Amino acid sequence: MKGAYRNSRVRIFRHPCASEKHARATGKFPRASISLPSRFRKKGKSMTTAKARIFRARWLALTAILLGSLEIIPVSHAQDKIELFGGYSFLRPPVQLEEFVPGACPPSCGPIFTNPRTNMNGWEFSGAYRLFPALSAVADFSGHYGSTTGNNVRVQTYLFGPQIALPARVSPFAHVLLGGAHESFSNQTCCFVGTNDSSFAMAVGAGIDAKIAPFLSWRILQGDYLVTKFHGGTQNQGRLSTGLVIRF
């Protein structure tokens, strides 16, 4: 019996006032109390305390993350509120010229027009104000310069409209812009003459930006389908741009 108690590490205690003789005389034996070793008694309590500490630590970590997010999100949105782009731009418009040869045709013949395509290099600058995370209001300005048949040609645009973008490290965007354009000529020579004109203009385009620093991105490419209405006609041309974008 003692061996069994020793192996199970359970000890039995009898009431100190009870004696074996008295118990036999009365027929009443005191109740035995069973006590487990201290390491077994404290195990449940220690496990409960450890679980509580882990639970409390997790809640503190989650709270810290949430508070950090609340502080970081407004700052990042404020950084992206304004966007400025500037860079190189290429345009290939049809330029309307009046062919004029002195003495070759009487005045009643009327004008003869030609519309050669002209490669023009220039610049583009735009500013965007973020209204919502994916929607901005854009103001776009550009100037392109070239020459054809001895005439220097300049085309300028000023356009405004909405732009949608995917806020990410590599950010595609698209826009629809409306406004005006101006075409002017200088250093005109004999036989081909251009006329200055202003007209309505529209650009539908898209592009992609890649972040290279916290406040700086590279506009890898922006392509626009540009429509103008010079001299009572319609000119369709492509515009390609690339440059740097600053966000703050």
Question: At residue 9, does pLDDT exceed 60?
Answer: no
Report pLDDT for 70: 46
**Confidence band (pLDDT; 50, 70, 90) for 213?**
very high
pLDDT number for residue 77: 46
Residue 10 — φ and ψ, nearest 5°? -115, 125
My answer on whether 88 and 140 are in the same domain is yes
Q: Examine residue 19 and state whether it is found in any structural domain, yes or no.
A: no
Helices then strands, each counted (H, E), the chain: 4, 13
Of 50, 75, 100, the residue that ends a domain is 75
| CATH number, domain with residue 131 | 2.40.160.20
88 and 122 fall within a common domain: yes
What are the structure tokens assigned to 205, written together?
């385009």
Q: Is residue 202 part of a domain?
A: yes
Model confidence at 26: pLDDT above 60: yes
- Separation of CA 228 from chain center: 31
SS3 call for 161: strand
pLDDT of residue 189: 66
Q: Is 134 part of a structural domain of the chain?
A: yes
The number of domains in the chain is 2
The neighbouring-strand residues paired with 246 are 84, 216
Q: Are residues 167 and 193 in the same domain?
A: yes
Per-residue pLDDT at 23: 58
Closest CA to 203 of 143, 161, 154, 145: 161
Assigned token pair, 78: 């404020």
pLDDT digits (tens, 9 = 90+) for 163-204: 999 989 999 999 999 999 999 988 766 677 778 999 999 999
Q: What is the pLDDT of residue 49?
A: 74
In this predicted structure, what is the pLDDT of residue 72? 43
* Residue 12 counted as domain residue: no
What pLDDT digit, counting tens, does each position of 54-70 carry? 777 777 777 766 655 44
Residues 99 and 222 grouped into a single domain: yes
pLDDT averaged over every residue in the chain: 79
Same domain, 163 and 59: no
Q: Are residues 66 and 132 in the same domain?
A: no
**Residue 60 confidence (pLDDT):** 76
Could you report the per-residue pLDDT of 130-152, keeping only the tens digit for each?
Answer: 999 899 999 999 999 998 887 89
Predicted pLDDT of residue 112: 65
Q: Which domain holds residue 66?
A: 38-75
Residue 27 lies in a domain: no
Judged on CB neighbours under 10 Å (0-12, 13-18, 19+), 175 is buried
pLDDT tens digit sequence for 218-241? 999 999 999 999 988 999 999 999
pLDDT-based confidence at 38, cuts 50/70/90?
low
Q: Are residues 71 and 85 in the same domain?
A: no
pLDDT at site 71: 46
Please check the confidence at residue 113 and state whether its pLDDT lies above 80: no
